Amino acid sequence: MAKNVVRKLFGKREKAQPLPPPPLPDAIEAIRQKALRGYHLEQVLWGQTLLDSIYVPRDPHQALIWFTMAANAGYGPAHNMLGRCAHFGWGCEKNLQKAAQHYEAAAALGDEWGRYNLGILTMRGIGMPQNLKRALHLFQTAAQNGHAKSMNILARFLEEGWEIPQDRQAALAWYKRSAEGGDYRGQHNYATALAEVGKTEEALHWWAQALPDATSDILLAMNRSLTRLGPEKAPELYAALQERLQSLPQPEDQATKPV
């Protein structure tokens, strides 16, 4: 009896068991279940969830496994995600040549994101020799197939006359299509073109559309444009832009116009 009392008082305490993870939202759990059953789209979506989600701990190595399963079945978007993993070192060592190979495979399977990402590497000479002519062809194909980011870069080729006769009107039309397709770079570039011909209200509309998703280079370019235009033209937009700029980690001004 006394021993039991002593054991209770001074005995080794049992370690607290970790709490089970909270259940996933129904939509996320449905993706996971379909991924487990071999659906290729959901395998990619579940891999993307493992890369960046508030619902599960980040696990790029597991994400890579899910992308590989879908890619081995010939699913283009999975090859694109494997390219992204190799491009940025998510769950594997960074390997730009391997990234280009996966983007190439994705493009060959008709995936427009893979075609676009391959175009970016080809245009900039990353992981392969620079080839503007081939990059133009990739962006043209993806743009014609409805890819908004490719529309924006095709417009830039037309605006600058890179590997294609310069055509500012055609460039404007592609910027417009890119903006309407939801690409924030296209929205900024279309707004810039509109502001240059005095269509200020339309320009402000598209800058407002670009603001929520814009990255630092676009935010800085927008700031230059709105400052030249005059903050009083759109005080609420200008204030929102300043708020976003203040949240950037040590921004560096970029003199060149972003693509």
Residues 50-89: tens digit of each pLDDT: 999 999 999 999 999 999 999 999 999 999 999 999 999 9
Query: What is the sign, positive or negative, of the torsion defined by CA atoms of 235, 236, 240, 241?
Result: negative
Whether the pLDDT of residue 180 is over 60: the answer is yes
Question: How far is it, in rounded angstroms, from Cα 83 to Cα 50?
Answer: 16
Roughly how many angstroms between the first and final C-alpha of the chain, as a whole number?
A: 81
Residues in contact with 3: Cβ distance below 8 Å, sequence separation at least 6, in sequence order: none
pLDDT of residue 258: 47
Q: What is the pTM of this model?
A: 0.87
Cα–Cα distance list, 191 to 75, 176, 211, 245 (Å): 37, 9, 12, 19
Looking at the chain, how many residues does it have? Answer: 259
Report the CATH fold assignment for 33-145: 1.25.40
- Mean pLDDT score of the chain: 92
Residues in contact with 220: Cβ distance below 8 Å, sequence separation at least 6, in sequence order: 245, 251, 253, 254
Question: How far is it, in rounded angstroms, from Cα 172 to Cα 189?
Answer: 9
Maximum Cα–Cα distance for the chain, whole Å? 97
- Per-domain residue ranges for the chain? 33-145
* Residue recorded with tokens 């929520």: 212
Are the C-beta atoms of 151 and 144 separated by less than 8 Å?
no
